[in-house]
Amino acid sequence: MHSLTNTKSSLKKILSIIEELSGINSDSVPKLQAQPTNILEEIATFEEEKNNNLRTIETNDDEMVSLKNKISQNQRDIASLEESNTELTNERQALLDKIQTAQNELNETQTKISAKKEELTTKTTRLEELEKRIAELKDTQEKFDNQMKELETQLQGEFEKKQNFSNSFTMRTAAMKSLIKAGYIQSNQLKVIKSLVPGTTLDLKGLVSASGLREDVFRGILTKMVQKNGPIEFDEGEGTVTLKGEVDF
């Protein structure tokens, strides 16, 4: 910049000199005069271009500073974003862990629910079976009760018949005993029994003689009484008879 100023000053001095010499050599002066003028114009053009270039450089410097500031800001933003991204990644992982934990709990709960459902189904089936069994037992109980009522009625009827028969038999037995004691009824069996004495062993021949029966008839009656578990002991070998208990006529 300083050299250009000096050059312009030198050119201006040259022009002054040329003007002073214009009267001396009119042919060569215009040529000499034109050269410094052209140089000055070129210098002016160069200065203008240089100034433009300086302004452009300054502008570029400003833009570079601005770009550097933007780069710095972007780097800070990137660092902030990376930090935020790290936090978000950590938060995302924490959420994923919570989701996994919840999923595990859900799976466990679903497993428990399935087990409870199976248990409930089993209990429901068992309950239905028990209810069916109870219904069957109630039906069986009802039938049994009806049969018992019928049997009770039947047994009551039979009991009444037997009781009537017993009462009648008792009355007939009492009447028979009275007739026997009065001597209105006589039989070979009665004769044999009447000839015996309770708790006493007697000789068969004496008994036959006292009863008035034949010995074979007497023996036959004793044999039948023994076969029917009558209260006598008959020893055929010894020819003795024992009446083991009282006989009520």
> Of 198, 193, 204, 192, nearest to 235 (Cα)?
204
CB 199 within 8 A of CB 241: no
List the one residue out of 219, 241, 240 whose CA is nearest residue 232. 241
| Sequence-ordered strand ranges (E) for 54-213 | 201-203
What's residue 77's pLDDT? 75
Q: Does the pLDDT at position 57 exceed 80?
A: no
Confidence of residue 134 (pLDDT cuts 50, 70, 90): very high
| Mean pLDDT of all residues in 157-184 | 61
Q: What pTM did the predictor assign?
A: 0.34
Best-predicted range by mean pLDDT (8-22, 179-193, 213-227):
213-227
Phi-psi region of 236 (alpha: psi -120 to 50; beta: other; left: phi over 0): alpha
- Helix (DSSP H) and strand (DSSP E) numbers for the chain: 5, 3
Are 203 and 240 spatial neighbours (Cβ–Cβ below 8 Å)? Answer: yes
Q: What is the pLDDT of residues 68-99, one digit of tens each?
A: 788 878 788 778 877 877 887 888 888 888 88
Specify the fold of 186-249: Arc Repressor Mutant, subunit A (1.10.10)
Query: Region 28-48: what's the mean pLDDT?
Result: 64
**H or E element at residue 211:** helix 204-211
Q: Spell out the domain ranges in the chain.
A: 2-80, 186-249
49 has pLDDT over 70: yes
Mean pLDDT of the chain: 77
Q: How far apart are CA 12 and CA 33, in angstroms?
A: 11
